[in-house]
Amino acid sequence: MTNNNFEQALSFDDVMLIPRLSKINTRSNVDLSTSIAGIKLKIPIIAANMSSVCEQQMAMTLGELGGLGIIHRMCDVKDQMSMVISASDKQLPDYSVGFSIGIGSDWCDRMDACKNHADIVCLDVAHAHHQRVLDLLKKYFEIYQNYPIIIGQVATINAVKDILNVIPEKYYSSIAFKTSIGGGSLCTTRIKTGFGIPTLQAVMNIRKEFPKISIIADGGIRESGDIVKSLALGANAVMLGNLLAGTEESPGGIIKGNDGKLLKIYRGSSSYGDKSLRGEEVKNIEGEEMLVSYKGSVIRVVNGLLDGIRSGFSYGGAINIKELQDNIEFIQITTAGIKESQPHGIFNL
Protein backbone atom coordinates (compact mmCIF):
# COMPACT_ATOMS: atom_id res chain seq x y z
CA MET A 1 0.00 0.00 0.00
CA THR A 2 1.56 3.27 -1.12
CA ASN A 3 -0.70 5.65 0.81
CA ASN A 4 -2.81 4.85 3.83
CA ASN A 5 -3.74 8.47 4.54
CA PHE A 6 -7.29 8.84 3.32
CA GLU A 7 -8.08 12.16 1.67
CA GLN A 8 -11.55 13.60 1.45
CA ALA A 9 -13.00 14.08 -2.03
CA LEU A 10 -15.88 16.47 -2.69
CA SER A 11 -18.71 15.97 -5.14
CA PHE A 12 -21.33 18.44 -6.36
CA ASP A 13 -23.79 17.90 -3.49
CA ASP A 14 -21.05 18.36 -0.89
CA VAL A 15 -20.32 21.95 -1.91
CA MET A 16 -22.19 25.24 -1.92
CA LEU A 17 -20.89 28.50 -3.36
CA ILE A 18 -21.04 31.53 -1.06
CA PRO A 19 -23.18 34.42 -2.40
CA ARG A 20 -21.39 37.72 -2.98
CA LEU A 21 -22.33 41.36 -3.50
CA SER A 22 -23.86 41.58 -6.97
CA LYS A 23 -24.10 44.67 -9.17
CA ILE A 24 -25.52 42.81 -12.17
CA ASN A 25 -28.65 44.64 -13.31
CA THR A 26 -29.84 41.96 -15.69
CA ARG A 27 -28.71 38.36 -15.94
CA SER A 28 -28.87 38.51 -19.72
CA ASN A 29 -25.68 40.61 -19.59
CA VAL A 30 -23.68 37.69 -18.17
CA ASP A 31 -21.04 36.62 -20.69
CA LEU A 32 -20.67 32.82 -20.77
CA SER A 33 -18.10 32.69 -23.56
CA THR A 34 -15.11 30.44 -23.07
CA SER A 35 -12.28 28.72 -24.90
CA ILE A 36 -11.40 25.03 -25.14
CA ALA A 37 -8.03 24.06 -26.64
CA GLY A 38 -8.07 27.35 -28.51
CA ILE A 39 -11.62 26.85 -29.83
CA LYS A 40 -13.88 29.73 -28.83
CA LEU A 41 -17.42 28.97 -27.65
CA LYS A 42 -20.25 31.33 -26.80
CA ILE A 43 -21.59 28.99 -24.12
CA PRO A 44 -19.63 26.46 -22.01
CA ILE A 45 -21.72 23.42 -22.98
CA ILE A 46 -20.41 20.43 -24.96
CA ALA A 47 -22.52 17.46 -26.09
CA ALA A 48 -20.96 14.16 -25.04
CA ASN A 49 -19.46 11.97 -27.74
CA MET A 50 -21.99 9.20 -27.06
CA SER A 51 -23.95 7.16 -29.59
CA SER A 52 -27.28 8.21 -28.06
CA VAL A 53 -26.35 11.87 -27.58
CA CYS A 54 -24.45 13.43 -30.47
CA GLU A 55 -24.64 12.96 -34.21
CA GLN A 56 -24.95 15.64 -36.87
CA GLN A 57 -28.27 17.15 -35.77
CA MET A 58 -27.15 17.63 -32.18
CA ALA A 59 -23.78 19.02 -33.30
CA MET A 60 -25.46 21.51 -35.64
CA THR A 61 -28.11 22.71 -33.20
CA LEU A 62 -25.78 23.00 -30.23
CA GLY A 63 -23.23 24.73 -32.44
CA GLU A 64 -25.82 27.28 -33.49
CA LEU A 65 -26.55 27.90 -29.81
CA GLY A 66 -22.86 28.64 -29.28
CA GLY A 67 -21.76 25.34 -27.78
CA LEU A 68 -20.00 22.31 -29.23
CA GLY A 69 -21.10 18.85 -30.29
CA ILE A 70 -18.64 15.94 -30.43
CA ILE A 71 -19.80 13.32 -32.93
CA HIS A 72 -19.32 9.81 -31.59
CA ARG A 73 -17.13 7.06 -33.07
CA MET A 74 -19.51 4.10 -32.59
CA CYS A 75 -19.72 3.55 -36.34
CA ASP A 76 -17.39 2.94 -39.23
CA VAL A 77 -15.10 5.68 -40.53
CA LYS A 78 -17.22 6.50 -43.59
CA ASP A 79 -20.38 6.95 -41.54
CA GLN A 80 -18.58 9.16 -39.06
CA MET A 81 -17.10 11.27 -41.85
CA SER A 82 -20.56 11.64 -43.41
CA MET A 83 -22.00 12.90 -40.12
CA VAL A 84 -19.13 15.34 -39.62
CA ILE A 85 -19.51 16.70 -43.15
CA SER A 86 -23.28 17.10 -42.65
CA ALA A 87 -22.76 18.92 -39.36
CA SER A 88 -20.18 21.26 -40.87
CA ASP A 89 -22.36 22.08 -43.90
CA LYS A 90 -23.67 25.11 -42.09
CA GLN A 91 -25.12 28.52 -42.69
CA LEU A 92 -23.40 30.06 -39.67
CA PRO A 93 -19.64 30.18 -40.22
CA ASP A 94 -18.72 30.79 -36.58
CA TYR A 95 -19.70 27.57 -34.86
CA SER A 96 -17.46 24.59 -34.27
CA VAL A 97 -17.88 20.83 -34.77
CA GLY A 98 -15.97 18.02 -33.10
CA PHE A 99 -15.48 14.30 -33.64
CA SER A 100 -14.05 11.37 -31.69
CA ILE A 101 -11.25 8.87 -32.07
CA GLY A 102 -10.21 5.95 -29.89
CA ILE A 103 -6.92 4.13 -29.42
CA GLY A 104 -7.78 1.38 -31.88
CA SER A 105 -5.96 0.83 -35.15
CA ASP A 106 -8.37 3.11 -37.07
CA TRP A 107 -7.66 6.29 -35.11
CA CYS A 108 -5.46 7.74 -37.83
CA ASP A 109 -8.02 6.84 -40.52
CA ARG A 110 -10.67 8.74 -38.57
CA MET A 111 -8.39 11.74 -38.22
CA ASP A 112 -7.63 11.87 -41.92
CA ALA A 113 -11.29 11.42 -42.84
CA CYS A 114 -12.75 14.03 -40.51
CA LYS A 115 -10.15 16.65 -39.58
CA ASN A 116 -10.69 18.90 -42.59
CA HIS A 117 -14.42 19.09 -41.90
CA ALA A 118 -14.24 19.65 -38.14
CA ASP A 119 -12.51 21.96 -35.69
CA ILE A 120 -11.49 19.69 -32.80
CA VAL A 121 -11.05 16.00 -32.01
CA CYS A 122 -11.77 14.14 -28.79
CA LEU A 123 -9.56 11.22 -27.78
CA ASP A 124 -12.27 9.04 -26.28
CA VAL A 125 -10.71 6.70 -23.70
CA ALA A 126 -12.18 5.53 -20.40
CA HIS A 127 -8.77 5.81 -18.68
CA ALA A 128 -6.34 8.14 -20.45
CA HIS A 129 -3.53 7.60 -17.93
CA HIS A 130 -2.36 4.59 -19.94
CA GLN A 131 0.76 3.75 -21.88
CA ARG A 132 -1.21 3.16 -25.09
CA VAL A 133 -2.56 6.71 -24.85
CA LEU A 134 0.91 8.13 -24.29
CA ASP A 135 2.23 6.23 -27.32
CA LEU A 136 -0.65 7.43 -29.48
CA LEU A 137 -0.20 11.05 -28.42
CA LYS A 138 3.47 10.99 -29.37
CA LYS A 139 2.46 9.98 -32.90
CA TYR A 140 -0.50 12.36 -32.94
CA PHE A 141 1.57 15.47 -32.34
CA GLU A 142 4.22 14.35 -34.81
CA ILE A 143 1.57 14.08 -37.54
CA TYR A 144 -1.20 16.54 -36.65
CA GLN A 145 0.79 19.00 -34.55
CA ASN A 146 -1.47 21.78 -33.25
CA TYR A 147 -4.82 20.34 -34.37
CA PRO A 148 -6.98 20.94 -31.25
CA ILE A 149 -7.58 17.85 -29.13
CA ILE A 150 -9.61 16.96 -26.04
CA ILE A 151 -7.88 14.21 -24.03
CA GLY A 152 -9.99 12.15 -21.66
CA GLN A 153 -10.76 10.70 -19.30
CA VAL A 154 -8.28 11.89 -16.65
CA ALA A 155 -8.82 12.25 -12.92
CA THR A 156 -5.46 13.00 -11.32
CA ILE A 157 -2.60 15.46 -11.39
CA ASN A 158 -0.18 12.64 -12.22
CA ALA A 159 -2.25 11.68 -15.26
CA VAL A 160 -2.02 15.21 -16.64
CA LYS A 161 1.70 15.43 -15.85
CA ASP A 162 2.52 12.18 -17.62
CA ILE A 163 0.47 13.16 -20.66
CA LEU A 164 2.01 16.62 -20.90
CA ASN A 165 5.48 15.06 -20.68
CA VAL A 166 5.01 13.36 -24.08
CA ILE A 167 3.62 16.48 -25.79
CA PRO A 168 5.82 19.34 -27.03
CA GLU A 169 5.13 22.40 -24.90
CA LYS A 170 4.42 24.54 -27.96
CA TYR A 171 1.20 22.55 -28.46
CA TYR A 172 -0.17 22.95 -24.91
CA SER A 173 -2.57 25.70 -25.97
CA SER A 174 -4.31 23.28 -28.35
CA ILE A 175 -5.04 20.71 -25.61
CA ALA A 176 -8.02 20.26 -23.28
CA PHE A 177 -8.41 17.59 -20.60
CA LYS A 178 -11.72 15.90 -19.87
CA THR A 179 -12.33 14.75 -16.30
CA SER A 180 -13.36 12.61 -14.37
CA ILE A 181 -13.66 8.80 -14.32
CA GLY A 182 -16.86 6.95 -13.53
CA GLY A 183 -19.13 9.92 -12.84
CA GLY A 184 -21.62 9.49 -15.69
CA SER A 185 -25.23 8.71 -14.87
CA LEU A 186 -25.05 5.33 -16.63
CA CYS A 187 -21.42 4.54 -15.83
CA THR A 188 -20.71 1.56 -13.57
CA THR A 189 -16.90 1.87 -13.54
CA ARG A 190 -16.67 2.90 -9.90
CA ILE A 191 -18.99 0.09 -8.83
CA LYS A 192 -17.25 -2.59 -10.88
CA THR A 193 -13.64 -1.54 -10.39
CA GLY A 194 -13.55 0.48 -7.17
CA PHE A 195 -11.62 3.28 -8.90
CA GLY A 196 -12.56 6.88 -9.53
CA ILE A 197 -12.55 10.45 -8.24
CA PRO A 198 -15.60 12.73 -8.07
CA THR A 199 -15.73 15.13 -10.99
CA LEU A 200 -15.65 18.33 -8.94
CA GLN A 201 -12.66 17.20 -6.87
CA ALA A 202 -10.76 16.18 -10.00
CA VAL A 203 -11.44 19.59 -11.57
CA MET A 204 -10.24 21.42 -8.45
CA ASN A 205 -7.09 19.33 -8.10
CA ILE A 206 -6.07 19.64 -11.74
CA ARG A 207 -6.88 23.35 -11.97
CA LYS A 208 -4.79 24.14 -8.89
CA GLU A 209 -1.75 22.36 -10.35
CA PHE A 210 -2.24 23.51 -13.95
CA PRO A 211 -3.74 27.02 -13.99
CA LYS A 212 -3.44 27.55 -17.75
CA ILE A 213 -4.72 24.36 -19.35
CA SER A 214 -8.29 23.83 -20.59
CA ILE A 215 -10.45 21.58 -18.40
CA ILE A 216 -13.83 20.06 -19.22
CA ALA A 217 -15.93 18.72 -16.34
CA ASP A 218 -17.57 15.52 -17.52
CA GLY A 219 -19.73 13.29 -15.34
CA GLY A 220 -22.29 13.61 -12.57
CA ILE A 221 -23.78 16.91 -13.73
CA ARG A 222 -27.51 16.83 -13.07
CA GLU A 223 -28.58 20.47 -12.78
CA SER A 224 -27.53 23.95 -13.89
CA GLY A 225 -26.15 24.52 -10.38
CA ASP A 226 -23.63 21.71 -10.95
CA ILE A 227 -22.49 23.53 -14.08
CA VAL A 228 -22.02 26.76 -12.11
CA LYS A 229 -19.98 24.88 -9.48
CA SER A 230 -17.84 23.26 -12.19
CA LEU A 231 -17.07 26.60 -13.83
CA ALA A 232 -16.51 28.40 -10.53
CA LEU A 233 -14.03 25.83 -9.27
CA GLY A 234 -11.92 25.56 -12.38
CA ALA A 235 -13.59 24.12 -15.48
CA ASN A 236 -13.63 26.00 -18.77
CA ALA A 237 -16.70 24.07 -19.92
CA VAL A 238 -18.84 21.05 -19.13
CA MET A 239 -19.69 17.97 -21.16
CA LEU A 240 -23.28 16.77 -20.89
CA GLY A 241 -24.78 13.38 -21.68
CA ASN A 242 -27.86 12.65 -19.62
CA LEU A 243 -29.15 16.22 -19.71
CA LEU A 244 -29.12 16.24 -23.53
CA ALA A 245 -30.23 12.63 -24.04
CA GLY A 246 -33.87 12.17 -24.98
CA THR A 247 -34.08 15.42 -26.91
CA GLU A 248 -35.35 15.70 -30.45
CA GLU A 249 -31.82 16.23 -31.75
CA SER A 250 -30.29 13.20 -30.01
CA PRO A 251 -29.90 10.06 -32.16
CA GLY A 252 -32.61 7.43 -32.29
CA GLY A 253 -36.35 7.38 -32.78
CA ILE A 254 -39.08 8.19 -30.32
CA ILE A 255 -40.60 5.17 -28.57
CA LYS A 256 -44.16 5.16 -27.21
CA GLY A 257 -44.43 3.37 -23.87
CA ASN A 258 -47.36 1.25 -22.75
CA ASP A 259 -48.68 4.20 -20.76
CA GLY A 260 -48.43 6.50 -23.79
CA LYS A 261 -45.32 8.25 -22.50
CA LEU A 262 -42.76 9.22 -25.16
CA LEU A 263 -39.26 7.83 -24.64
CA LYS A 264 -35.83 7.57 -26.26
CA ILE A 265 -32.87 5.24 -25.67
CA TYR A 266 -29.87 6.50 -23.72
CA ARG A 267 -26.74 4.31 -23.76
CA GLY A 268 -23.77 4.71 -21.48
CA SER A 269 -20.29 4.36 -22.93
CA SER A 270 -19.08 0.74 -22.71
CA SER A 271 -22.66 -0.49 -22.36
CA TYR A 272 -23.81 -3.64 -24.17
CA GLY A 273 -25.55 -1.65 -26.90
CA ASP A 274 -22.66 0.76 -27.27
CA LYS A 275 -20.13 -2.02 -27.80
CA SER A 276 -22.49 -3.75 -30.24
CA LEU A 277 -22.66 -0.60 -32.36
CA ARG A 278 -18.86 -0.61 -32.55
CA GLY A 279 -18.80 -4.26 -33.58
CA GLU A 280 -16.72 -5.10 -30.52
CA GLU A 281 -16.75 -8.30 -28.53
CA VAL A 282 -19.31 -7.69 -25.84
CA LYS A 283 -17.37 -8.03 -22.60
CA ASN A 284 -16.04 -5.76 -19.83
CA ILE A 285 -19.36 -3.93 -19.65
CA GLU A 286 -19.01 -0.74 -17.57
CA GLY A 287 -22.14 1.11 -18.60
CA GLU A 288 -25.91 0.77 -18.51
CA GLU A 289 -28.58 1.68 -21.03
CA MET A 290 -32.09 2.84 -20.36
CA LEU A 291 -35.14 4.60 -21.72
CA VAL A 292 -35.42 8.29 -20.85
CA SER A 293 -38.34 10.65 -21.24
CA TYR A 294 -38.58 12.51 -24.53
CA LYS A 295 -37.65 16.14 -23.76
CA GLY A 296 -38.47 17.97 -26.97
CA SER A 297 -35.95 20.27 -28.61
CA VAL A 298 -32.47 20.60 -27.14
CA ILE A 299 -32.88 24.34 -27.65
CA ARG A 300 -35.43 24.45 -24.83
CA VAL A 301 -33.26 22.27 -22.59
CA VAL A 302 -30.09 24.30 -23.13
CA ASN A 303 -31.84 27.64 -22.75
CA GLY A 304 -33.25 26.42 -19.43
CA LEU A 305 -29.75 25.47 -18.27
CA LEU A 306 -28.36 28.83 -19.41
CA ASP A 307 -31.02 30.67 -17.40
CA GLY A 308 -29.89 28.81 -14.28
CA ILE A 309 -26.20 29.37 -15.02
CA ARG A 310 -26.64 33.12 -15.54
CA SER A 311 -28.67 33.29 -12.35
CA GLY A 312 -25.82 31.54 -10.56
CA PHE A 313 -23.33 34.07 -11.88
CA SER A 314 -25.50 36.89 -10.53
CA TYR A 315 -25.38 35.34 -7.04
CA GLY A 316 -21.60 35.29 -7.40
CA GLY A 317 -21.49 38.91 -8.56
CA ALA A 318 -19.69 37.79 -11.72
CA ILE A 319 -20.24 39.04 -15.26
CA ASN A 320 -18.08 36.31 -16.84
CA ILE A 321 -16.34 33.02 -16.06
CA LYS A 322 -13.03 34.64 -15.10
CA GLU A 323 -14.70 36.92 -12.55
CA LEU A 324 -16.53 33.95 -11.08
CA GLN A 325 -13.35 31.91 -10.71
CA ASP A 326 -11.26 34.79 -9.39
CA ASN A 327 -13.63 35.71 -6.57
CA ILE A 328 -15.53 32.59 -5.61
CA GLU A 329 -15.61 31.08 -2.14
CA PHE A 330 -17.23 27.78 -1.25
CA ILE A 331 -18.13 25.75 1.79
CA GLN A 332 -18.61 22.06 2.44
CA ILE A 333 -22.08 21.22 3.72
CA THR A 334 -23.40 18.35 5.83
CA THR A 335 -25.98 15.73 4.95
CA ALA A 336 -28.56 17.93 6.64
CA GLY A 337 -27.46 20.82 4.42
CA ILE A 338 -27.83 18.66 1.33
CA LYS A 339 -31.35 17.73 2.42
CA GLU A 340 -32.20 21.38 3.09
CA SER A 341 -30.99 22.30 -0.39
CA GLN A 342 -33.67 20.12 -1.99
CA PRO A 343 -37.30 21.19 -2.36
CA HIS A 344 -39.12 20.27 0.84
CA GLY A 345 -42.48 20.88 2.46
CA ILE A 346 -44.14 19.78 -0.77
CA PHE A 347 -47.46 17.98 -0.79
CA ASN A 348 -49.53 16.58 -3.63
CA LEU A 349 -52.78 18.32 -4.50
pLDDT tens-digit series, residues 190-199:
888 889 899 9
Residues 316-329, mean pLDDT to the nearest whole number: 97
Mean pLDDT of 236-242: 97
Alpha-carbon distances, residue 307 vs 2, 72, 300, 303 (angstroms): 46, 28, 11, 6
- The answer, yes or no, to whether residue 275 has pLDDT greater than 50, is no
pTM of the complete model: 0.92
Q: Does 287 have pLDDT greater than 50?
A: yes
Report, as an integer, the average pLDDT of 150-161.
96
Structurally, at CATH architecture level, domain 29-331 sits in Alpha-Beta Barrel (3.20)
Q: What angle do CA 157, 159, 160 make, to 5 degrees?
A: 65
Q: Which of 152-161, 182-191, 286-295 has the lowest mean pLDDT?
A: 182-191
Is residue 1 very low, low, confident or very high in pLDDT (cuts 50, 70, 90)?
A: very low
Q: Is the pLDDT of residue 342 over 60?
A: yes
- Given a cut of 80, whether residue 42 has pLDDT beyond it is yes
pLDDT band at 285 (very low <50, low <70, confident <90, very high): very low
| Contacts (Cβ under 8 Å, ≥6 apart) of 297 | 61, 247, 248, 249
Q: Active-site positions? A: 187, 189
Q: What's the mean per-residue pLDDT of the chain?
A: 91
Nearest Cα to Cα of residue 292 among 262, 263, 333, 319: 263
Rg (CA), the chain: 20
Residue 188 has pLDDT above 80, yes or no: no
pLDDT at 274 over 50: no
